[in-house]
Structure 1
Amino acid sequence: MKEKLVVIVGPTAVGKTKMGIELSKRLDGEVISGDSMQVYKRMDIGTAKVTKEEMEGIPHHLIDIKEPDEPFSVAEFQSLVQPLISLLNKKGKLPFIVGGTGLYINSVIHNFNFAEMSTDLPFREEMEQFVKEHGVDQLHHKLKDVDPVSYATIHPNNYRRVIRALEVIKRTGKTLSEYQQSQNEEAPYDFVFVGLTMDRDQLYERINKRVDIMIDQGLFEEAKRLYDQGIRGCQSVQAIGYKEIYDYIEGKVTREEAIELLKRNSRRYAKRQFTWFRNKANVHWFDMTNTNFNKKITEIQQFIEGKLYNYSEIN
């Protein structure tokens, strides 16, 4: 029998964290963070990292495992998550991957073979130098004609992902999505793919409010501490929420402009997350617009039980 797994995805601010915790409480599960930024220590506010109080006793994995100046790749994510899924299944726990980083999640449920394509270090170094000389936006523009899907779904600030997409084209002649599709063999897990969605205007309002709360909680101060510690030019601080404030710290924008850019970039990120997941045929979507949260939890719980368990197993 295949190991069981539940994946909860959706755009930022839609309510994935709370949903993952509540479902874990009901279904004897543990949460694996599927967010590529919550691995970093001391980056709590800007990544909307779940607090100990919010966890309500549910164990969370892959949070605070990296220093902010360390790289973190999709291949490393896969190598950490797959043994963890096995361990939780052996313990009789139901693993919940909760997050919005589509490539990372797909690498696990479709078991991408990263060893198949070796790294082209000279090309990566060439592209890193290009970024230093011309900036992330010009690098991102290189994708527009050769890989429009990656161009639309990868943020320019995530320049290492952009370089990886360009590297895949150079090494294989395929776009990143074509290369991934070629590896989409039968999933190694008996898994349920739950997607949370919401009316766009309501979601954007939630995103704007979340940014205001982050500011009140001390996001500018958190970013300034990282900046003063010399955490600059790293993968971690290219993320939305830090890049904008770093620009403010360096005098490139005003405080008000940084906040508006953060809200705008967060909304655009949510749109890219929709773009990534909406074409995935195996995602079952649940609308969170103006919904009774407890009723929705019950609906999703029953859906998961119906997909993963026989009636005799849950009674």
Structure 2
Amino acid sequence: MSQRLPLVVILGATGSGKTKLSIELARRFKGEIIGADSMQVYKGLDVITAKATKEEQALAPHHLIDILQPHEMFTVVEYRNSALKIVDNLISRNKLPIVVGGTNYYIESLLWKILIEEPGDRVKALPAVVNNDHELPNEELHKKLKLLDPNMAKRLHPNNRRKILRSLEVLRQKGKPHSKILEEQQRSQGASSSGGALRYSDAIIFSLQCDKDVLDERLNRRVDKMMEQGLVQELLNFHKMYNESRIADEGFPDYTKGVFQSIGFKEFHPYLMLSEEEKKSEKGCLELEKCLEELKMVTRRYARRQNKWTRNRFLGRRDRQVPPMYGLDVTDLDKWDQNVAQPATQIIQSFISQTDCEYQPLPMQTTTTSTANAEEDTYFCDICERVFVGSFQWSDHLKSNRHKKMIERKNKLSKRENSTK
């Protein structure tokens, strides 16, 4: 008789211990680990992307890590289709699937029937849409979407190139506007505005939680450890092998595609562009220190974004079904077994055996951005010349000091111009 196995998802900020917990659970329950990190799917840059080491990967089977060359493109649809096959195969073999990662849209594409093409959908070409979109600048792309699918264009910031391209691709493949498909599927599935019904009813989410100051210090030490592991040499080798000729051909450093957008690589661009003599000079040493500090800052900032996403997209939702999420406190690593490993093990075991568990899911929270921006219009600020998506962003901007200072500055300029007339 087969067991009733859950789909386990481990969320948490970078540096919170997701890899450690995933390996422990995989060994305990004979499970396998599925990566959900948009940078770790690429070969190379092992240190800067914080991949599980070869020794760690040997402790449990890993999937969707090191599967692409740095120059290859990989969409969320391709990730989802690949991951779903692995998850379903593991469940059919009574193997516990453990999804680990911090790429938001990868995680959501697995948990919910996100309202984009499903595997096996028949593609219907739309001859009127010419596929030269990738060659267009952001402004022209948004204008094109506004012309072809105005309802979707209103939801997307003009600089959100990835989503604009995706909507144009849907239009080209399906023969109907992306916004129309969303509306139809929402009506048929009873789905929310930002995603469909749960794909797996037997999903469990573990959220690794850490005191902010402790996590900041841990991330700083993590970067220092990366340096000890050969971070700089890894970046130099990768730059020489993949990035140097790319910059020469394109004439500018494009860090918006593939593995080149990894946190840590673009931050070192000023140092990587120095000559060999400059790297060894005092100027090179100072530049390297600046790059390291920049890496620490963006890593801390990224961790905050990940935590905010978890709160808003899971604990703050009221418009869609959300799997139970259990908080695990990773602040004190000396209490890892007590606060993390043992509770996670007991929660999974209780689920499998269908017995009561002493640990309860986290309660839902009230957040100001829980459903914001899902279907709202864009707003243009004439004063600041900026675009905002959703009423919450727009309202926050109008109250911001930056907006008020711009008003003061323009008023002063206007008075000065009037006095000279």
Aligned residue in 2 for 1:225: 237
What is the DSSP-based 3-state SS (H/G/I as helix, E as strand, rest coil) of the residue aligned with 1:77? helix
CA distance in 1, matches of 2:198, 2:47: 38
Q: Specify every segment of 5 or more residues in structure 2 that has no aligned partner in the other structure, as ranges.
A: 142-153, 169-176, 247-253, 275-283, 316-322, 357-421
Q: 1:262 and 1:182, CA in 2 relative to 1: closer, same or farther beyond 3 A?
A: closer
Is residue 2:208 matched to residue 1:165?
A: no
| C-alpha RMSD of matched pairs (Å) | 3.3
Q: CA deviation at 1:166?
A: 3.9
Q: 2:229 corresponds to which letter in structure 1? A: Q
Aligned residue runs from structure 1 range 80-99, under 5 A:
80-99=82-101
d(CA) in 2 for partners of 1:91 and 1:194? 23
Match of 1:293 in 2: 336
* Residue 352 of structure 2 corresponds to residue 305 of structure 1: no
* Higher RCO (CA 8 Å, separation ≥ 6 residues): 1
Equivalent residue, structure 2, for 1:42: 44
Task: Give the superposition deviation at 1:123.
Answer: 4.2
User: How many aligned positions are there?
Assistant: 286
- Counterpart-to-counterpart distance in 2, 1:207 and 1:12: 8
| Candidates 238, 249, 255, aligned match of 2:272 | 249
| Structure-2 separation of matches of 1:305 and 1:184 | 29
Q: Residues of 2 paired with 1:73 and 1:44: CA distance?
A: 21
Mapped partners of 1:95, 1:248: distance in 2: 41
Does 2:263 match 1:240? yes
**In structure 2, the residue corresponding to 1:260 is in which secondary structure?**
helix
Contact 2:6–2:348 (CA<8 Å) still a contact in 1?
no
Matched, 1:272 2:305: yes
What amino acid is aligned across from residue 262 of structure 2 in structure 1?
A
Change (3 A) 1:204 1:147: farther
Q: TM-score, normalised by structure 2?
A: 0.61
Mapping of residues 142-221 of structure 1, within 5 Å: 162-167=160-165, 172=178, 181-221=193-233
Residue deviations 1:139-177 (CA, integer Å, cap 9, x gap): xxxxxx9658xx9xxxxxxx8xx3123456886569x9x
Q: Is the contact made by 2:41 and 2:68 (CA closer than 8 Å) also made in structure 1?
A: yes
Contact 1:33-1:97 within 8 A present in 2 as well: yes
- C-alpha distance after superposition, 1:7-60 (max 9, x if no partner): 001100000000000011111111111111111112211111111212352111
Q: 1:28 is aligned with what amino acid?
A: K
Bigger Cα Rg: 2
- The one-letter amino acid of 1:80's match is S
Secondary structure at the aligned position of 1:115 is classed as coil
Within 1, Cα distance between the matches of 2:203 and 2:23? 18
In structure 1, runs of 5+ residues without a counterpart are 132-144, 152-158
Which 4+ stretches in 1 moved above 6 angstroms? 116-120, 128-131
TM (norm. structure 1) is 0.80
> 1:124 Cα deviation (Å)?
3.8
Match for 2:59: what amino acid? G
The 1:172/1:90 distance shift into structure 2, 3 A limit, reads closer
Match of 1:155 in 2: none
- CA–CA separation in structure 2 for the residues paired with 1:31 and 1:198: 23
Give the 3 Å change call, closer, same or farther, for CA 104–206 of structure 1 in structure 2.
same
| 2:419 corresponding residue in structure 1 | none
